[in-house]
Structure 1
């Protein structure tokens, strides 16, 4: 031992007490350490390479390389093969929770829906904690268990840097746990957080990032000068290009760049990557925020107490403005300014526009449109999660029991409005105006969706299931997980801390639940009735195919060719357009979609 100490001293190393420096029995080479100062309890593994660092109370695993810690590296257990280079300060203090237990004021800026962060958070558990505040006992038990879990983190004597992790070129890192294979390069400030990471789903924190009170899920990327505070960033979620997020829960496959979010609950596949977008006090799901879009919370007298909810698939056009409170149905399209607090959740697939300061609603017009279908088809392809067992559970079906129930109710609603005022030119609903023509078209489009849903079920070999069990009653879209409400009620009887396995089971039993649902909502009792459904299905498919083809043609002819062949003779415009855009018959989205619909129609005809 003394010879090793002498060799270390000769290499410019020093220690407050060499007796508190333990080294591996095999594979430790003093010559691989230069200009290192040790204090507190130190443990060094084999084949470590340490240079130009002050290290205090650390356990350094085998094959670790540390080079250039300007102030101090303290309080960490560093896993095998990790690399820590060019760091200002990196310390971990006993008693910290690494972000666990920190309250996040999601959706309600005043904290009325605040939830505790913890490193097992999922979109489903967070949804219930944020939006089901009426479950007071369930939430009390859940919050207590999360706080108890945070206390176990606080009791740990050290933080950790996982195996194969890289920390390089960072300014100040305080009370942050870093998982296996994570990459933290160039961060300015990281404080009180957890960077979960796995070899198959490595997490990245990049240049200029400032983060306080945070948890990053495996595969997350927070890079390019992003600023986050009191935030959860989910699996394969990207926060980049100077985006600012405060009190936000951002879940799987989200993309956030250039804009700002405050008190936002962003369920999977939410995208806000344009400049000047501002989302405040709102819930988003599979949403797309246009440039300059503004979810405002300024209509208050007693504080920032209002909120807005945009259900699955809502899109906000450029410079759209919504003043909370507001509630939009699934797959809505929002353009213009809306200060009169629209509530369109009962009418999914609608288009909300601003006409002279009045919110004008066109029900169901987004059903079976190229843009809507393209969105629904692209989401599964944009699931970039690589973990063996993804945390957030996502059902990608375009039409599902939750939406079909909404559509059934919407048909009844629009029919009632029409019957109450058969001669009216405009109808009022949810602080919006609906033109008579739009109302009638909406009923037609909704009925088409009902035909498509049951037809798809039948050609897939769906059977009649009149057994008792979950599925026959109401359903819920739990931030991506579509499930019977009856099943949810069973899961939430105790607490949500350990509910992930039950949610996963509900996710895998979807087809079973679906069979009961279809049998309950549609009359499939005999062959004649099933044949009638299939006949309507074939007819509706033909109608929708024709509509899609007509809509897509607008993207290939007429005004769509303006600016092509800009400095060429008029005769060359078409050739230039075709070289850039191709032809409608081979459109990479439309052609496969129409072919699939024709194939479905053939399957249905074969069953008649």
Structure 2
């Protein structure tokens, strides 16, 4: 933009309109500048002004012409068609973009140099330190996971810290920015805050040392009475209604409100926090807590739903709050649940009651942990048949509210994956070892702070076998979907993996599922200096996510050979038909279990409190009017349809393979 100095006549006009300046020569203006809408402004320092020709239409139909009035500006650049009015104190050291609307602001300034929240250390998981994550604009859940959990690789952590420190230096300035099309209305103090395009800050109390990474595709909204210090807020997030944040990173499309309170915590994509509080938590994608009495502390969570009154303890009143816990993806806590850290809860498990035994059920995914007589009772695999588990798996992708074309977190939504299925293999091994060691006649078995009933152990083996068969069958059917299946040799060629990557163990990096070998390569590249910037590291995460199904097949094909005792050199269409038949049986059996679990929601006890003032007939009619009829429930219909579709898929696959027989 071309600027010029004020003319003598313009200076006189501005003075007549109540404007003063410490030095009129320090003011530069757009070459088409007009003084008409500049009134009662106190200028000091270096000032640049645009042109003000546009009108803003406010809710209710009121119109405000762009311009500047009733404000003190110091070292500021104001863009075109911006409205600034009624700033009680001043605005200092800010570059403000085009089409910005600022009204009734208390104070906005940058004091000395600031990195705007970049470079802040968040003492996540351990309040006393040791797992600090340095937050920054481009922080992804996977990057934070490695920085926090890989402290056994000090060279790696040092390199990552240096990379973030360099990025922080590059984003340090003594001038703040307010992007284009920003609205700041009825707000208190904004100190050392970088505000990007299309953000709305409305009736906010206090913002200090942070960045609001809003954009045109996914604006950020900061609402009533919010107080935040040392923070990064990513695109699409809404922080509302008295929320208080201290040293926090808020990922994309998060929703925090209803007086939620958080300190030293990380919230990644699509997290929701209302009413309760968080301290030193690593909230991976889809961590949800809605209840006033719920405290999440010193834990790592993802795809998690915290029930009312959920609580954890991170110290034993000895050396302070030094303990941490992990709830692997898909965990749930029932109302009034409690876990004494340290503990590790397996994927897609439900925790009910109060647990004091420092349990580790990471090898027992899809389980219930139930309190009974002050003991933790473990029910392995039972959550595989739960209608709630399937509903969760279906709803997570639908509830991805990120509209930003650049997704910071790489999120895999699959319920069954190499990560969870490898845990089932481990679970089967553990359960069989318990049977072998303690005998099949035992009524109870003890495992890592938990008690397992004999009947639950045998049921767990059955559930895991069904789920493994379903996953491996899904994989081989998908792999052969485009194969003509004219000969065994052709089938064997289609079954060959794309690469050897994907074998051995898999890891869950806070939403990203990837083979350990590929993560280790990434770590070595960081340690050796081959990867030296945040963008390149995040690009590796993106590629691993993009290549998931190819990598998954490498792992699944290896397990298919092991589980069904087959060889890649001799496998035939007949062998695959046997697998598909077992798959079809497993899918249908699991779906019927889910169907029967859903039926419980329509059983006679659930009719209680319906038909308030009528008889039993009225109760039934009232229930059906509110809840519907079981057979016509949308989810139930979907389960029945799934049985039909998968049965036909199995039959079609068998028919295609039969050509080779």
CA distance in 2, matches of 1:493, 1:184: 42
In structure 2, C-alpha distance between the alignment counterparts of 1:603 and 1:576, rounded to whole Å = 40
2:207 matches 1:190: yes
3-state SS in 2 of match to 1:404? helix
Is 2:512 the partner of 1:494? no
Q: How far apart are residue 473 of structure 1 and its match?
A: 1.9
Counterpart position of 1:536: 582
Alignment of 1:179 onto 2:179: no
Match for residue 362 of structure 2 among 338, 342, 345: 345
The aligned counterpart of 2:43 is 38
1:217 aligned to 2:217? Answer: no
> SS in structure 1 opposite 2:495?
coil
Runs of 4+ in 1 over 4 A off after TM superposition: none
Q: Does 1:569 align with 2:607?
A: no
**Residue pair 1:464, 1:516 contacting (<8 A) in 2 also:** no
Moved more, 462-471 or 377-386: 462-471
Once residues 461 and 357 of structure 1 are traced to their aligned partners in structure 2, the CA distance between those partners, rounded to angstroms, is: 48
Aligned to 1:122: 140
Task: Please name the residue that 1:438 is paired with.
Answer: 456
Q: Please provide the CA RMSD for this pair.
A: 1.2
- Inter-partner Cα distance in structure 1 for 2:125 and 2:386: 31
CA distance in 2, matches of 1:333, 1:67: 53
Matched with 1:94 is 112
Q: How many residues align?
A: 606
Q: Which residue of 2 aligns with 1:399?
A: 416
Report the alpha carbon displacement of residue 77 of structure 1 after superposing the two structures with TM: 0.5
Pair 1:58-2:76 in alignment: yes
Tell me the CA shift for residue 109 of structure 1: 0.8
Q: Measure how far apart 1:576 and its partner are.
A: 1.3
| CA deviation profile, 1:558-592 (whole Å, cap 9, x unmatched) | 11111111112322222111111111122122211
Deviations 1:67-109 (A, max 9, x none): 1110010111001111111100100133111111110000111
Give the aligned partner of residue 445 of structure 2: 427
Q: Could you say what secondary structure the match of 1:457 adopts?
A: helix
* Distance in 2 between residues matched to 1:82 and 1:479, nearest whole Å: 37
Instruction: Report deviation, 1:15.
Output: 0.6
Q: Once the two structures are superposed, what CA deviation does each residue of 1:534-561 show, in whole Å capped at 9, x if it has no partner?
A: 1111212222222222211111121111
Q: Separation in 2 of the partners of 1:564 and 1:586?
A: 19
CA distance in 2 between partners of 1:70 and 1:494 (Å): 52
Other-structure match for 1:511: 549
1:300–1:306 CA contact under 8 A, matched in 2: no
Which of these residues, 141, 146, 155, is aligned with residue 137 of structure 1? Answer: 155
TM-score with structure 1 setting the length: 0.98
Q: Distance in 1 between matches of 2:365 and 2:150?
A: 22
Q: Cα offset for 1:300?
A: 4.4
User: Do 1:279 and 1:296's aligned partners in 2 also have CA atoms closer than 8 Å?
Assistant: no
- The structural deviation recorded for 1:439 is 0.4
**Residue aligning to 1:14:** 20
Question: Which of 356, 365, 378 is equivalent to 2:382?
Answer: 365
Task: Give 2:487's aligned residue.
Answer: none
Between stretches 251-260 and 449-458, larger displacement belongs to 449-458
Map residues 159-558 of structure 1 onto 2, 5 A cutoff. Answer: 159-422=176-439, 423-462=441-480, 463-466=494-497, 468-495=499-526, 497=534, 498-523=536-561, 525-558=571-604
Matched, 1:584 2:630: yes
The DSSP-based 3-state class of the residue aligned with 1:493 is helix
Aligned to 1:499, the other structure's residue is in SS state: helix
Deviations 1:149-180 (A, max 9, x none): 212222x2411001001111111110000010
Query: What is the CA–CA distance in structure 2 between the aligned matches of 1:67 and 1:89, rounded to whole Å?
Result: 12
Q: Which runs of 5+ in 1 are unaligned?
A: none
User: Displacement, 1:117?
Assistant: 1.0
Partners of 1:208 and 1:413 lie apart in 2 by 52
**Aligned equivalent of 2:87:** 69
